[in-house]
């Protein structure tokens, strides 16, 4: 069976619900690993966190090989009332992942998904993945656009998306907003780049070829259900590409899987 390795922080999401706040596990690696598992792959996760988070993650991810680097703190993502706008505060951040832990984790993996949410995957770690012989590397670089204000924990969004990863990965998934923050000379011609557009679907670029995929109409969508949709899309896309599907077909498959995560298809969509 093929193995999917996700590297990044599992975190605590604090999401408003009614008059209170729900604290639940989140993070790109959590959502991606569930999708890869549902697609029949073995899953391995390399993350950083406290004993409390490790215990909760093991309970939430049965059958997943969870490798947790000990940390004094966990990453906490605090969402506003309109959760689909993304987190607005990050009270604490887990310790960065160590590149030296990568080699053993990568051994035997068919896909490695670099999934930072607060900069915990850097160039040194990514190079360690490549040097360890990973056959397929994908990235969801949203966490490379984030920093936090000292003292308040307010989430800061950096003005440009760094692309040191362009020569190290086979595929990348970004949102429209993140795509707009890529430099024109980012050097992504050889990367299968997917750009998600929420309910409007997605498009993908590979070399000179562009593929547009229409959205799937949904109804009864709770804004909190959009959390993790991009990560779900990425995992489905990376798995499809690693299994040999052409990029346009991988985009179609990922679009369907992400729509199923967010909400039910509208009548007539099957």
Q: For residue 82, what pLDDT is reported?
A: 73
The reply to whether 270 falls in a domain is no
Q: For residue 225, what pLDDT is reported?
A: 57
pLDDT at residue 218 greater than cutoff 80: no
The reply to whether 268 falls in a domain is no
The reply to whether 219 falls in a domain is yes
Is residue 82 classed as helix, strand or coil in its secondary structure?
Answer: coil
Question: Picking from 67-76, 203-212, 261-270, which range would have the lowest pLDDT averaged per residue?
Answer: 261-270
The angle, 0 to 180 degrees and rounded to 10, between the axes of the packed helices 247-262 and 28-38 is 110
Whichever domain contains 85, its CATH number is 3.40.1190.20
Determine the Cα–Cα distance for residues 254 and 249; give it in Å rounded to an integer: 9
pLDDT at residue 262 greater than cutoff 80: no
pTM of the predicted model, to two decimals? 0.92
> What's the total number of domains in the chain?
1
161 — pLDDT class (breaks 50, 70, 90):
very high
What range defines the domain where residue 121 resides? Answer: 3-262
Q: For residue 84, what pLDDT is reported?
A: 66
The reply to whether 227 falls in a domain is yes
Question: Picking from 26-40, 72-86, 177-191, 203-217, which range would have the lowest pLDDT averaged per residue?
Answer: 72-86
Is residue 150 classed as helix, strand or coil in its secondary structure?
Answer: coil
DSSP character for 89? B
Which residue's entry shows tokens 């590149």? Answer: 99
Is residue 213 classed as helix, strand or coil in its secondary structure?
Answer: strand
pLDDT digits (tens, 9 = 90+) for 91-120: 999 999 988 889 899 999 999 999 999 999
């Amino acid at each position: 069976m093929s193995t999917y390795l996700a590297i990044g922080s599992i975190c605590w999401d604090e999401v408003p619900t009614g008059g209170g706040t729900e604290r639940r596990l989140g993070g790109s690696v959590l959502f991606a690993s569930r999708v890869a598992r549902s697609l029949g792959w073995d899953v391995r996760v390399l993350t950083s966190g406290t004993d409390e988070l490790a215990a909760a993650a093991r309970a939430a991810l049965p059958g997943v090989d969870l490798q947790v680097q000990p940390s004094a703190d966990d990453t906490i993502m605090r969402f506003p009332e309109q959760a689909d706008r993304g987190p607005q505060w990050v009270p604490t951040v887990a310790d960065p992942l160590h590149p030296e832990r990568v080699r053993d984790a990568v051994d035997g993996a068919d896909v490695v998904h670099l999934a930072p949410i607060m900069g915990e995957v850097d160039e040194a770690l990514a190079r360690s993945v490549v040097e360890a012989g990973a056959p397929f590397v994908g990235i969801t670089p949203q966490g490379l656009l984030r920093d936090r204000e000292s003292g308040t924990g307010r989430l800061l969004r950096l003005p440009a998306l760094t692309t040191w990863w362009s020569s190290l990965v086979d595929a990348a998934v970004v949102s429209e907003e993140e795509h707009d923050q890529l430099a024109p000379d980012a050097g992504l011609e050889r990367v299968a780049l997917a750009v998600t557009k929420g309910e409007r679907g997605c498009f993908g670029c590979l070399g000179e070829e562009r593929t547009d995929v229409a959205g799937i109409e949904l109804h009864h969508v709770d804004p909190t259900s959009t959390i993790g949709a991009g990560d779900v899309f990425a995992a489905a896309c990376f798995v499809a590409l690693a299994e040999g599907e052409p990029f346009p077909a991988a985009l179609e498959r990922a679009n369907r899987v992400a729509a199923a995560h967010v909400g039910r298809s509208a009548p007539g969509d099957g």
